Amino acid sequence: MKALAAFQKDCPAIHKDSMAQSSKFTYKYTSLPMIIEVINPVLQKHGLVFAQPLTDNGIKTILFHIESGESLESETNIPRVELMQMNAFQALGSGITYFRRYSLCSLLGIVSDDDTDAAGEQKVIKDATTDQVNRINDLLRTSTLDEKGRKDVEDSIFQLSHERANKCIGYLLDNQIAAKDGGGMKLKDINDELDLKMQNDRQ
C-alpha cells in the first residue's frame, strides 16, 4: 500500500506526554489521544482512515485507503487480568486502551514510547478448564442444591476463572460431606464463601 509508505515517511515523532507510577517505577509514555492527534492529519493527507471495533475476545484494527478501497487489518485478543486497585470494568478499559495504542502503532509501523496501562501489578486470569467444568457438573448432580440453585451455577459455570472453579469444587465437596451429616450448603452460602475467600486472597 503506497499510501501507508507515504504516511510513514511524513509521520513526525510522537513524544511522551503522560506519566504514571506503579508500585516500584515511574513511567513516561505516549497516550492514545496524543497518538491520534499526531497521526490523524497525516492519515487524512494520504487518504487513509482507521477503525478499531471490539470483537468477542479482543480488538480489531483496520486501516482503509479511501481511493483504492484497499484495507489492512490485525486482530489481537485482550487477556483478562486483575489490576491492583481497579475493579473488573476499569481493568478491562485499561486493557482496551493499551491494545488500541499498540495495535494502531504496530499496524501503521510507527514507534510509540513506553506504556503504563499494563505496568501495574497484574495477575493473569486463567479460564476454568474443561476438566474443572465437568467436575463441577458431576458434583452438582449429587449436591443438595435445589433445581434453581443448580441452574444458577450451570448458567455461570463457563464464566468462572481457573482459581474460582477450584474453590467452587472445594465447596461443593464440602456440601456433599455436610449433606451426609444431615446439613448442606445453599447456593448463597457457597457464593458468599467464595467471595469472602477471593477477597482474603487479594489482601
Q: Are residues 29 and 77 in the same domain?
A: yes
Question: Are residue 165 and residue 198 in the same domain, yes or no?
Answer: yes
> Is pTM beyond 0.75 here?
no
Task: Print the domain residue range for 169.
Answer: 130-202
98 and 140 together in one domain: no
Q: Of the residues 124, 139, 162, which one is the last residue of a structural domain?
A: 124
Same domain, 21 and 61: yes
Dump pLDDT digits (tens) for 57-67: 899 999 999 99
Q: Where is pLDDT greater, at 120 or 46?
A: 46
pLDDT at position 159: 64
| Comparison of pLDDT for 33 and 117, the residue scoring more | 33
pLDDT score of 114 more than 80:
no
Measure the CA–CA gap between 159 and 1, rounded to whole angstroms. 42
Q: Does residue 108 sit in the same domain as residue 134?
A: no
11-34 burial, b at 16+ Cβ within 10 Å, e below that, comes to: beebeeeeebeeeeeebebbbbeb
* Same domain, yes or no: 72 and 149: no
156 and 116 together in one domain: no
- What are the phi and psi torsion angles at 187 (to 5°)? -55, -40
pLDDT of 185 reads 47
More confident residue, 47 or 185: 47
Q: Which residue has the higher pLDDT, 3 or 111?
A: 3
Query: Is the domain of 71 the same as that of 135?
Result: no
Tell me, what's the pLDDT at 112? 62
- Residues 103, 42, single domain; the answer is yes
Q: Quick check: 100 and 118 in contact, CB under 8 A?
A: no
Which among 171, 174, 163 is positioned nearest to 198, based on CA atoms? Answer: 163
Residue 8 has a pLDDT of 93
Looking at the structure, tell me whether residues 94 and 146 fall in a common domain.
no
Whether residues 6 and 55 share a domain: the answer is yes
Of 201 and 11, more confident: 11
pLDDT digits (tens, 9 = 90+) for 173-187: 877 777 666 554 444
54 forms beta bridges with 59
Domain end (from 90, 124, 158) = 124
Single out the residue in 124, 159, 189 at which a domain terminates.
Answer: 124
For the chain, the domain total comes to 2
